[in-house]
Structure 1
């Protein structure tokens, strides 16, 4: 016997209640419009009635239903990067946006047709093919508390590091030889410590390889432990590079 959607979903999304799940409702709408796309379940079993994914590892869209208000909340992905997001109360509009994205729409084309879609400058940089410089620029101008501005500036001042893709994890500065997630994990990283000093950790396993008192010293030590020919970062994932 098939399961019935939860009552709050039936109440907020009657078409999903009739179809039996968001996956089924989205598939019906995609079929009605004429898209040869398949709506699948996500990898979250508890979301069987309220979430769906359309696409493959190259491009896909995930859609999740709001629990308190009627919203189809969507994330648009391309090769490991969330390129855009948005929410609409209209199943037809959400299916139309999925169809556009999965048939190769560019960001501004998608937004022109689906005004609820939002994206940022980094996504457009990916689309242009130059996300490395844009990611450094975003970090250099941010004042977010988990970003050590002096460390970012010291790293950016080094030509070898400027060509690598920067990202942060638990306040540490990490660098990748590829620009898409999953990132490579074979380069040293720098962790700012609470006393204002820095710990440099090596790749795999992430064990300490040195300690520095200033951002410049930390960056110099990191560069000393870089492998040869580790840049510039390429448009790929770590999986595609065989590094995951």
Structure 2
């Protein structure tokens, strides 16, 4: 029997795997050895059945992937739909310690202290403090990214009803979400600058043929006024979590 080259390379880079083990199985053993009574799950994607693993809870996820060009465990740490931290290490024991600590409730600072190879951003710190909305607006208001229309950002930020929502861009379109984590909500009109004008539409899920038009505006202020006129009922401040969390809350589950 000829061994698949990719499988052979993984076995070479990760002797712990041998030829038959998976990242999930060897990480589970390492997690228990580190003293954490947590379950390690395989990644959902079929192509990662051997090289990916994760831990899940109601609000947090920690995932690991194997590098294929060189030995590297690539880690991601999420909370309520927000990518909070990342890290890369060559040590399986370090992977177990970092993932176990995160899933056991460690703060970003505690995680970094225990696992120096983990890094996180100021935006992640803001989400941890509960200031993710304001931090996102601040980021957009000061960015030099070419896809951000600063006049539009300022016009939206000037409106209290929009300032409490979570802004995000999809290409050059400005979106607003009632939650701070991904997936975001898509029940608030979208503003897309185009040829000196501003197209205001519903997200494409409102129509099987693509974005449903609300109207066009000559200025950022007019575009923002169209959004305000079409806000959902009781559209309050964005909450921590994802659109799925809001759906469950709205249905009373």
Query: Which band: TM-score by shorter chain?
Result: over 0.9
- Which TM-score applies when normalising by structure 1? 0.92
> 1:18 offset after TM fit, Å?
6.1
> 1:121 offset after TM fit, Å?
1.4
Q: Match for residue 119 of structure 1?
A: 120
* Residue 46 of structure 1 pairs with residue 47 of structure 2: yes
Q: Match for residue 8 of structure 2?
A: 7
> 1:19 offset after TM fit, Å?
6.4
> 1:88 offset after TM fit, Å?
0.6
Superposed CA offset, 1:96-116 (max 9, x none):
101110111000010011111
> 1:227 offset after TM fit, Å?
3.0
Which secondary structure state, in structure 2, belongs to the residue aligned with residue 178 of structure 1? coil
Which secondary structure state, in structure 2, belongs to the residue aligned with residue 145 of structure 1? coil
Structure-to-structure mapping, 1:77-96, within 5 angstroms: 77-96=78-97
| Structure 2: tracts of 5 or more residues without a match | none
| C-alpha distance in structure 1 between counterparts of 2:197 and 2:18, whole Å | 56
Q: Match for residue 162 of structure 1?
A: 163
Q: Match for residue 197 of structure 1?
A: 197
* Contact in 2 for aligned 1:37/1:55 (Cα 8 Å): no
Q: Match for residue 217 of structure 2?
A: 212
| C-alpha distance in structure 2 between counterparts of 1:223 and 1:158, whole Å | 9
Misfit runs of 4+, over 6 Å: none
> 1:156 offset after TM fit, Å?
0.8
Which secondary structure state, in structure 1, belongs to the residue aligned with residue 245 of structure 2? coil
Which secondary structure state, in structure 1, belongs to the residue aligned with residue 240 of structure 2? strand
Q: Match for residue 172 of structure 2?
A: 171
* Contact in 1 for aligned 2:172/2:193 (Cα 8 Å): yes
| C-alpha distance in structure 2 between counterparts of 1:8 and 1:57, whole Å | 35
| C-alpha distance in structure 1 between counterparts of 2:232 and 2:153, whole Å | 20
Q: Match for residue 67 of structure 1?
A: 68
Which secondary structure state, in structure 1, belongs to the residue aligned with residue 18 of structure 2? helix
* Residue 236 of structure 1 pairs with residue 241 of structure 2: yes
Q: Match for residue 222 of structure 1?
A: 227
- CA-atom RMSD, angstroms? 1.9
Query: How many aligned positions are there?
Result: 241
* Contact in 2 for aligned 1:143/1:149 (Cα 8 Å): no
* Contact in 2 for aligned 1:178/1:184 (Cα 8 Å): yes
* Contact in 1 for aligned 2:57/2:103 (Cα 8 Å): no
* Residue 108 of structure 1 pairs with residue 113 of structure 2: no
> 1:179 offset after TM fit, Å?
1.6
| Structure 1: tracts of 5 or more residues without a match | none
| C-alpha distance in structure 2 between counterparts of 1:36 and 1:157, whole Å | 49
| C-alpha distance in structure 2 between counterparts of 1:38 and 1:207, whole Å | 44
Per the alignment, do residues 19 and 39 of structure 1 end up closer, same or farther by CA in structure 2, a change over 3 Å counting? farther
